[in-house]
Structure 1
Amino acid sequence: MIHSSEPGLWPAFRELTAKTAHVDLTHAFHPGQPHFPAFPDERRDMVFDMTRGDGFNVHQYTIVGQWGTHVDPPVHFVAGARTLDRIPVEEMILPLVVLDITARVEADPDATPTTADVAAWEERNGSIPAGAFVALRTGWGRHWPDREAMANKDAAGVSHAPGWSAEVLHHLFEQAQVTAIGHEQTDTDPGLATSAGDFGLERYVLERDRWQIELMANLDQVPEAGALIVATWPKPQGGSGFPARVFALCPTS
């Protein structure tokens, strides 16, 4: 225990940071990156540019809200549901649970998690904490920013990419009572479903008044249990999605 005459939470901050590693779970976004095919690409302009003699640099970004590593609030799929500005900051730092199906995905890109994966995680780590953020580790983030590899379409145009399963999401939200989920791939639903226009799993999550982070990075660098996640984003009034900055605090001892 660190003893200090510093006021308030500062000693606790120093103790926490002395025992943690920070892992950035966010891709840097840019024009031409992988994105939902119906969305336009990013446009980025320099409205003030020091190379042109201006006194400072200012970019103007034209993007959809669901761009790069981003947050989907309930209103993204549910009219009248919570918008970004209505998600409280208390939900932005949570216990991080990681379900790892990377090995299965390497053998079968259409793989999804099962309740057996959840049971095995709980056998090793105890019950999933209520209010947790559960991330699906698939290894798919290694394809970023290759658009073709992320989509992984066959000759018929069908995407073969991992996603969540209904049985696991039902368990997480109805029984474990988690706050949010996240994943490395573009969509909640696996590629076989999205290729058929089926986004039912994403709708299920958002209809539960929960939120999610898509296109997460570096999940292979965090433990399956014991870390914290910090997920934050700008606060557009009535916002239906926005690029997020997400990182993990991981124990070093």
Structure 2
Amino acid sequence: MPLLSELAAALATGRVELVDLTAPLRESTPILVLPEPFGQTATFQLEEISRYDDRGPAWYWNNIRTGEHTGTHLDAPNHWITGRDGEDVSQLSPVRLVAPAAVIDVSEQAQADPDFLLEIDHIRAWEAAHGPLPDGCWLLLRTGWDARAGSQDEFLNADDAGPHTPGVSAECAKWLADEAPITGMGVETVGTDAGAAHSFEPPFPCHAFLLGAGKYGLTQLRNLDRLPPTGAVVVAAPLPIVGGSGSPARVFAMVEH
């Protein structure tokens, strides 16, 4: 049987399961909040055009207003100053957006410490158990943070010192950018960097190092607990916005049973 026909049959019979990793987009979807005087992203909003009425008797449709980086979304290299001459979201190669997944589960550590940071040693321990990171993979960091996605306040988990959410250390981010064979990193939090990353050196190292190296970011994923450490394939599908720095994306994984 041809390969694609075999895949279609496996999907139809459930031998390969599609796991949706995308958070629904609604007005209450959590968004990143920056301190003044920085500009702010928009929440997701629907603006009704017509709904089977005198504005359009047989059809219902809406305009939408949202930020590029609202909800489950992809960060393109040009999102950060270190990647300012890199690809915009319309230029990303689809081949790189479909890639094997390597899922690192640190949910217990993040539950105990919301400021938990992934270090190189954590990845080395994962490789000792599961083998080297697959070439061109999506590195997915499971923290259990998607359980907080119903509340802006719980999701950002901020106090007077700023947000407290798990992420990646500056040293590990540089290693992922320079040495790890990944296409990008995906997280369950509002951004790829830890909540305290504004105080790191450099600030927001996942953005600075990974996007500067031409790698990608995926944020606000969910259902990572349904993926095995290896073996799944992730498909990330952002809108090809010309000149865009990112886009809301439908992200799902294929898992073989």
TM-score of the pair, normalised by structure 2: 0.89
Matched, 1:45 2:44: no
The 8 Å contact of residues 129 and 176 in structure 1, kept in 2 or not, is answered as no
Size of the aligned set, in residue pairs, is: 246
Q: Contact (CA 8 Å) 1:133, 1:179: kept in 2 or not?
A: yes
Distance in 2 (alpha carbons) for counterparts of 1:34 and 1:194: 19
1:100-149 Cα deviation digits (max 9, x unpaired) = 11111111100011222112211111111111110111111100021000
Match of 1:114 in 2: 119
Matched, 1:62 2:68: no
- Distance in structure 1 (CA, Å) of the matches to 2:168 and 2:240: 28
Question: After alignment, is 44-53 or 196-205 more displaced?
Answer: 196-205
What displacement does 1:10 show?
Answer: 1.8
Q: Percentage identity across aligned positions?
A: 29
Distance 1:55 1:131, change over 3 A: same
Q: What do residues 142-192 of structure 1 show as CA deviations (whole Å, max 9, x unaligned)?
A: 0002100011122x2521111122233333332232111110001222112
Mapped to 2, the partners of 1:158 and 1:21 lie a distance apart of: 39
The residue that corresponds to 1:205 in the other structure is 210
Q: TM-score, normalised by structure 1?
A: 0.90
SS at match of 1:57: strand
Q: Which moved more, 1:70-79 or 1:10-19?
A: 10-19
Judged with a 3 Å threshold, the aligned counterparts in structure 2 of structure 1 residues 8 and 224 are, in CA distance, closer, same or farther, namely closer
Hey, what's the Cα distance between the residues in 1 that align with 2:167 and 2:180? 19
Q: Does 1:145 align with 2:150?
A: yes
* C-alpha RMSD of matched pairs (Å): 2.0
Q: Could you say which residue in structure 2 is the equivalent of 1:161? A: 165
Higher strand share: 2
1:167/1:213 Cα in 2 relative to 1: closer, same or farther (>3 Å)?
same
The offset of 1:51, in angstroms, is 5.4
Alignment gaps of 5+ in structure 2? 34-39
Find the aligned partners of 2:67 and 2:17 in 1 and give their Cα distance: 32
Q: More displaced, 55-64 or 165-174?
A: 165-174
1:12 to partner: Cα distance: 4.3
